[in-house]
Structure 1
Amino acid sequence: MTAPWGDYRLTRFPEDPRDQMRAWDASDEYLLRHLEGGTGEVGPVDLEKSQVTVVGDRWGALVTALAGRTAGLTQITDSYLAHEATRANLARAEVPAGAVALLNTQDAPPERIDVLLVRVPKSLGLLEDQLCRLAPRLHAGSVVVGTGMVKEIHTSTLKLFERIVGPTRTSLAEKKARLIFATPEPAAQPVANPWPLVYTLGPEAGAGPAEGLTVTNHGGVFCADRLDIGTRFLLAHLPMWRGEGRVVDLGCGNGVVGTALAKGSPEVDVVFTDESYQAVASARATYRANAAHRDGLAEFVVGDGLASLPEGSVDAVINNPPFHAHQSTTDATAWRMFSQARRALRRDGELWVIGNRHLGYHLKLRRLFGNCELVANDAKFVVLRAVKTR
């Protein structure tokens, strides 16, 4: 990536030489050019005297370029993978350890923010949650700049900045990227944060253990205000275990699947894992609202899928893999999750997967496990089961 201060070699995480997707885009470069010399819209920013907070920096491109150029620099992200990529990119740029404070979206934000830089996320809920949390840390002289590709910035995006931060306008587009300028108007009464959302599952969850669950969704978690149809279909065919065992809800989201499993399988240990800090916080809240009496039988892990679990340490994995990475459709995440599951499973352990019919997950599972059983299907979804036989 070329920035005003030099060129940077950046990678995503996990690093894969076959991965053709870059760790930055034109919106990152546009923002960095603006910070150095202005864009014709707003003049340059005095970084050396500023406490700078960067939100949503996808792979650490922004903080890597800004490290050492501010009075203080903080990155806030919802992504464990983004944190790991940032650490690697900072090390590659020979930035001293500790030069950048790495926080997640559940951490308390910095007390003072002179410059707030926002890489616009895909989720409006996550943007709303973070702006509500950060706005009280701004002051009348704070500079707030958002950035994103034109296709990522909508009227609803600008309305959030306007409502929570202050008067908002956009820059001209360059290389299909655009900047957002918001002028803070510190309010005596900050905008109330509507997140997390809490609701109760009704008959749509089926007659099994999911019905009646109290669900918590922090901003940015998929399908925040309702049960999505894929999870609903999976719950209708969710296996229950008798006796003891260790089962992983991989890519747990709000934890509905793992919590339903825990209610229907009283002696089973359930591991909830996701790369999203917001998701794992949601899963923890969902579980404790419905199964607090079995707290010792649950574990909550923010991480790279099952990478932190020992080989051969679990009896089953339940997985609804994502097939989008930001604006791209890819099966790389699903393939990585399936491979991690096979490593983590004990012999005769089971991987249960739900996915859209057209994704062809059965082919990948047969290639990895040597077998794949169709458990259930409808016009849109399939539930598949693969067994680790060796």
Structure 2
Amino acid sequence: MQEHYFTSSPSTPSRPDSVRVVLPDVDLTLATDSGVFSGSRLDRGTRILLEHAPMPPRRGPLLDLGCGYGPIAITLATRRRRLPVWAVDVNDRALDLTRANAAALGNVTVARPDEVPDDVAFAGIYSNPPIRSGKGVLHGMMERWLPRLAPEGRAFLVVHKHLGSDSFADWLTGRGWPTTRLTSVQGYRILEVSCSSSEAPRSSA
């Protein structure tokens, strides 16, 4: 496991840097740092998610779950400037970076998980989830946030096949969130997760 997956205050010394995010419709230069996910480059899985997941819906709040320094949230907010975008992480350094990177947009709210109001239902959730943090953390994230999908909402998750994307998809479906593989690029699966017709069963843990 890497520290950025589970600590609010990384002990890694700060080494500010920047990453350029160039997509067909977006060209961004984002501030990064050590102690956050893929702080030296745009992670390949994140790039594949941004290039191949469907465009965000035109109505309803969007969520970047595990935002890091903000490439997903800021891309979503650039593509849908009229929609509210929530960027959520447990890492304070990542949250500070996302706030700075999103400052010029005006439609991004950066928050720790407990700071998101309970009545916000998301039209879209986009995430490169922390697979290497272990099943307990990963499953807990899904069980916490997937019930926050609006009735017609969808979640789009990118997971490499060698990190268990297929078994993860089976687990999601078994927990009550129908999951399909939209595409596979360079071994990365983009999973589309639908809102269940009834609330997914909660973990007993």
| Smaller-chain TM-score bracket | 0.7 to 0.9
Structure 2 portions without partners, runs of 5+: 198-205
SS at match of 1:275: coil
The alpha-carbon distance between structure 1 residues 348 and 369, as it changes in their structure 2 partners (threshold 3 A), is: farther
The alpha-carbon distance between structure 1 residues 368 and 276, as it changes in their structure 2 partners (threshold 3 A), is: same
Amino acid across the alignment from 2:161:
R
- Structure 2: distance between partners of 1:197 and 1:370: 38
Aligned to 2:141: 337
Aligned to 2:7: 79
SS at match of 2:61: strand
What is the aligned counterpart of 1:228 among 19, 22, 43?
Answer: 43
- Structure 2: distance between partners of 1:316 and 1:371: 15
**Cα distance, 1:274 vs structure 2:** 0.2
Which protein, 1 or 2, shows the higher relative CO under an 8 Å CA cutoff with sep ≥ 6? Answer: 2
Aligned to 2:193: 386
What is the aligned counterpart of 1:355 among 132, 142, 159?
Answer: 159
The alpha-carbon distance between structure 1 residues 311 and 331, as it changes in their structure 2 partners (threshold 3 A), is: farther
Q: Does 1:303 align with 2:113?
A: yes
- Structure 2: distance between partners of 1:349 and 1:384: 14
Q: What is the TM-score of this pair, normalised by structure 1?
A: 0.45
- Structure 2: distance between partners of 1:283 and 1:378: 27
Aligned to 2:23: 206
Q: Does 1:246 align with 2:54?
A: no
Structure 1 portions without partners, runs of 5+: 1-55, 57-77, 81-104, 106-120, 130-194
Write the mapping of 1:1-40 to structure 2, written as runs, cut at 5 A. Answer: none
- Structure 2: distance between partners of 1:245 and 1:362: 25
Amino acid across the alignment from 2:20:
T
Whether the 8 Å CA contact 1:208–1:236 is kept in 2: the answer is: no
| Number of equivalent positions | 190
Larger Rg: 1
SS at match of 2:171: helix
Q: Does 1:285 align with 2:132?
A: no
What is the aligned counterpart of 1:369 among 173, 176, 181?
Answer: 176
SS at match of 2:169: helix
- Structure 1: distance between partners of 2:38 and 2:99: 17
Identical counterparts, % of pairs = 23
Whether the 8 Å CA contact 1:375–1:382 is kept in 2: the answer is: yes
Aligned to 2:129: 321
**Cα distance, 1:352 vs structure 2:** 1.0
- Structure 1: distance between partners of 2:170 and 2:58: 32
- Structure 2: distance between partners of 1:312 and 1:217: 28
SS at match of 1:369: coil
**Cα distance, 1:242 vs structure 2:** 4.9
**Cα distance, 1:263 vs structure 2:** 0.9
The C-alpha deviation readout for 1:197-229, integer Å capped at 9, x for no partner, is 12323xxx43132xx201111330122121111
- Structure 2: distance between partners of 1:255 and 1:351: 17
**Cα distance, 1:380 vs structure 2:** 2.0
- Structure 1: distance between partners of 2:39 and 2:120: 33
**Cα distance, 1:335 vs structure 2:** 0.9
Whether the 8 Å CA contact 1:271–1:299 is kept in 2: the answer is: yes
- Provide runs of 4+ in structure 1 moved above 4 Å: none
The alpha-carbon distance between structure 1 residues 128 and 242, as it changes in their structure 2 partners (threshold 3 A), is: closer
**Cα distance, 1:260 vs structure 2:** 0.7
Root mean square deviation of aligned Cα: 2.3
The alpha-carbon distance between structure 1 residues 381 and 241, as it changes in their structure 2 partners (threshold 3 A), is: closer
- Structure 1: distance between partners of 2:177 and 2:79: 29
